[in-house]
Amino acid sequence: MLARDDRAAARAACEAMFALNGAYNQAHMLMARVMMPGKNYAAILSRLHQHLQPAGYAEIGVATGASMALAGAETRCVGIDPCPRVTANIAARARLYPLTSDDFFARYNLAEELSGERLDLAFIDGLHLFEQALKDFINLEKHSHPGTVVMIHDCYPPTELSAARDRVMAYWAGDVWRMIPLLIKYRPDLDVKVIPALPSGLGLVTGLDAGSSVLEERFDDIVAEFMALDYSQLDERREELLPALANDWQAILERLPG
Ligand SMILES: C[S@@+](CC[C@H](N)C(=O)[O-])C[C@H]1O[C@@H](n2cnc3c(N)ncnc32)[C@H](O)[C@@H]1O
């Protein structure tokens, strides 16, 4: 069906499968493919590394190192993950910290661990809960400069079950999507978009301000407010809450800092 580009039929097939088994992993993944045609997140990250050639790169959530392996040999990388299981061939000058991101930022100064290189690109892909992604963003932004690009994985969950805070299926995005409307509301100075890229969407945040303290100061209130934003709102207001940027390199390029 997707080969014939018949997305309406594929969506109907997903709905039929959900009626039989709401937690059928393959059906949720098919829905993701219906909603997110185009390049996947790794292809976009790879283009970003090639284009930006970041001096410094920080990655929260390393796992096998597949995304860190996209960094170029000259990039100084900091990878943070409490349970890394790296099998990928990482060419970059990388240091790996087997810690949660909170522990890392409590113990280390990111700028020093980057050996003084500027944080040009960061990828948040750790714990799939929005309050953790928010902490990660706050901590990264303190080390940012106006040209820093922050990518946030899992911001475009295609189905309610894939966005559950507790993992139900192998395919899981969690509720990191709440980061997008949250940043749009509380940080109108940022440029915030979502690229609908498989498997679960990539947030793109630019215009960072290392001196901003709004998110930290209002952290508890913001988390309470956005915890109350139900996934059902995405059914009615997806484009308003998760403004999509076309999954197209030219469109992405135009959003990047000059
Ligand atoms: C989806 S995987 C990362 C995949 C990787 N970025 C890639 O694209 O190849 C998520 C990783 O986040 C890690 N993780 C979970 N909680 C974390 C935390 N609090 N801080 C940092 N990493 C965390 C997990 O151990 C897991 O390896």
199 lines ligand 1 (CB under 6 A): no
Q: Return the closest-CA partner of residue 156 out of 213, 115, 202, 206.
A: 202
Determine the topology of domain 38-255 in CATH.
Rossmann fold (3.40.50)
Collapsing DSSP states into helix, strand and coil, what is residue 57?
strand
Q: How far is the CA of 127 from the centre of ligand 1 (A)?
A: 6
Is pLDDT of 1 > 80? Answer: no
Specify the ligand 1 atom closest to the Cα of 81.
22
Is pLDDT of 138 > 70? Answer: yes
pLDDT (tens digit per residue) in 179-236: 999 999 999 999 999 999 999 999 999 999 999 999 999 999 999 999 999 999 999 9
Is pLDDT of 144 > 80? Answer: yes
The vertex-40 CA angle with 34 and 45, nearest 5°, equals: 150
66 lines ligand 1 (CB under 6 A): yes
Q: What residues does each domain of the chain span?
A: 1-35, 38-255
| Paired tokens of 34 | 């219906």
pLDDT (tens digit per residue) in 9-52: 888 888 888 888 888 888 888 899 989 999 999 999 999 999 99
Specify the ligand 1 atom closest to the Cα of 136.
20
Strand partners, 95: 78
Q: How far is the CA of 157 from the centre of ligand 1 (A)?
A: 17
Q: Return the closest-CA partner of residue 46 out of 116, 123, 124.
A: 123
Please give the average per-residue pLDDT across 115-131, as a whole number.
Answer: 97
pLDDT at 22: 87
